[in-house]
Structure 1
Amino acid sequence: MVAIVTPMHADGSVDWDSFEKLIDWHIAEGTDGIVAVGTTGESATLGFREHDEVIERTVDLVDKRVPVIAGTGGNATDEAIRLTRHAKRAGADACLLVTPYYNKPTQEGLYRHFHAIAMAVDIPQVLYNVPSRTGVDMLPETVGRLCEIDNIVALKEAKGSIERIHDLIEHVGDGMDIYSGDDGTAMESMLVGARGDISVTANVAPKLMHEMCAAAIAGERERAEILDARLQPLHTNLFLEPNPIPVKWALYEMGYIGPGIRLPMTPLSDHFHGPVRDALSGVVSID
């Protein structure tokens, strides 16, 4: 599944025409699901109305061809509930809920936060743990408690640790699906039991990422390793600066979107253009 960017014009306004073309391209290339307004979609710099509109338009443009997962997390529980309620009304298939950021809740606080959202909105919910971004790490024991809630169906784990994936699977059993949120370790995560990857790299190489994920989920290690070896330069170089800076520049270089990105994020530094372009050249055609 692609953690899709939100295309923007040079002035920072949302570029809806490019967004439509991106979604159609992803579906044609085999992307299995669209995850809108997550970290890569610049949820942190979109206003409430823009956030809502990206979800609405994603649902309309996808038109039930693949599942739509809407990013609706927040560092305030009431805010996350409000966003999640809107996503349900808009027709999203599920919601992606990041752990609260900056305020660093306890494990009990994390449990109560996600429990409150699940009780408030009857929609499938995918939790999202990304300690490098949020400053808080939701432990497997807490996830094990949350998997007992019926509409909490999955976790996107972005710690980047295969040991953590093992621990999570041990704690949740069949109670929820575990997805990788770290492209560099996604293949190994799927080979040990993760159900897929919510991917940044898929923004620029959707077909190859789909094929790698399918091979890894099927346990076809040799084929998965061959495909992932082609993708590894992207897994690395798309994080030379904070996401989504490199991936938006890469899509601009490929001709799919304009140059827009919102402050405090800035365009990719000139000295990283070469490494990102080289990573792209091994996988995709650049006009």
Structure 2
Amino acid sequence: MKDALFGGINAAALTAMNPDLSPDLDTYAAHCKWLLANGCNGLGILGTTGEANSFGFNERKEILEGIVARGVPATRLMPGTGCASLTDTVELTKHAKAQGCRGVLVLPPFYYKAPTDDGLFAYFSEVVNRTGGGIALYLYHFPQQSAVPFSLDLIGRLLKAFPGVIKGVKDSSGDYANMKAMIDHFAKDGFEVYSGADNFVQKILAEGGAGCITAAANVNARFGQIVYQKRTGPEADAAQAVLDATRKAATAVALIPGLREIIARSTGHDGWRVIRPPHLPLVGDEGQKAWDAMQAAGALPLAGMGMKAAAE
């Protein structure tokens, strides 16, 4: 897809934390800069992998402001702003716009289950109208986590009502048929479809999707960028094979603690193991299992991700 705002490889970035569970903005900004220098076209911050819903409203503002102030370009950030509260979603979206972000990723209101399409349309209509435009909204389709899916009918209604504002979707369902249906129905109107899974990157690009926003891109983005640039041929196929393998490796243990373990070992920075409950760090031999699986997948070592890089 041409002219996609976040077209390409986007990491669903981990959020660095201090021992007291507060955001470690220096380390986080350094990680974001490393990702952008090592294969990422953009970054999905404060999403599922970034533990957005473990942070409070003011903390989420502090995190975005903090990394932008430390030199991470706001134009390459897609913050998660979706909350159960309408007013929180609106205010976080306005805040992202004020920081210079071009788009935000918006969960549906996830506390009340089985809302109607009419109810979701009313919710997103309020978000758009209260935000006042000037920033693109990306729908976050992750029914396993939110229990609130986006139907094709709802997406079509939103696109018709708010052309150019409802800009795309991140589909983390793992259901490629659903991604393909969204591409077939809406890509002609400039609707950007991003896979939340690395194993679909080459396929979704070939069929008119915009790219990916994935957790494993914290470690495999350089291979994703090869796929994005080459698309087809032996080099692209080999890189896609690494993406497939790293996806399996990343899910060999609990995803977020496992990725934190990989980054901690790669940087020599123990703080990356800090995680907010109810998530817990890996224990026992799980850390070695995560490392061995990622190494076997071909993603390690992570060049340039040493202590010096993490501290800068």
Tell me the TM-score normalized by structure 2.
0.84
Structure 2 equivalent of residue 260 of structure 1: 274
1:26 corresponds to which of 35, 54, 59? 35
- Tell me the alpha carbon deviations over residues 125-165 of structure 1, each in whole angstroms, 9 at most, x when there is no partner: 11110011111221122112222213111111111122112
> 1:92 is paired with a residue of what secondary structure?
coil
Code of the aligned partner of 2:41: D
Contact 1:74 1:101 in 2 (8 A): yes
Structure 1 equivalent of residue 196 of structure 2: 181
Contact 1:12 1:260 in 2 (8 A): yes
Contact 1:55 1:92 in 2 (8 A): no
Structure 2 equivalent of residue 60 of structure 1: 69
1:190 corresponds to which of 200, 205, 208? 205
> 2:70 is paired with a residue of what secondary structure?
helix
Structure 2 equivalent of residue 202 of structure 1: 217
1:171 corresponds to which of 170, 173, 185? 185
1:284 aligns with 2:300: yes
Q: Distance in 2 between matches of 1:65 and 1:16?
A: 15
Root-mean-square deviation over aligned CA pairs? 2.1
Contact 1:59 1:68 in 2 (8 A): no
Q: Distance in 2 between matches of 1:74 and 1:241?
A: 28
Structure 2 equivalent of residue 79 of structure 1: 88
1:136 aligns with 2:145: no
Aligned length: 284
Q: Distance in 2 between matches of 1:256 and 1:234?
A: 21
1:92 corresponds to which of 73, 93, 101? 101
Structure 2 equivalent of residue 274 of structure 1: 288
For structure 1, which segment, 125-134 or 95-104, has the greater mean C-alpha deviation from structure 2 after superposition? 95-104
Structure 1 equivalent of residue 158 of structure 2: 146
Q: Distance in 2 between matches of 1:229 and 1:264?
A: 33
Contact 1:234 1:276 in 2 (8 A): no
Q: CA deviation at 1:48?
A: 1.4
Q: Distance in 1 between matches of 2:238 and 2:126?
A: 43
Contact 2:75 2:102 in 1 (8 A): no
Gaps of at least 5 residues in structure 1 are none
Gaps of at least 5 residues in structure 2 are 1-9, 307-312
Q: Residue 229 and residue 173 in structure 1: after superposition, are their counterparts in 2 closer, same or farther (change >3 A)?
A: closer
Structure 2 equivalent of residue 107 of structure 1: 117
- Tell me the alpha carbon deviations over residues 161-189 of structure 1, each in whole angstroms, 9 at most, x when there is no partner: 22112211222142211111122333322
Q: Residue 74 and residue 54 in structure 1: after superposition, are their counterparts in 2 closer, same or farther (change >3 A)?
A: same
Q: CA deviation at 1:72?
A: 0.4
Q: Distance in 2 between matches of 1:26 and 1:254?
A: 13
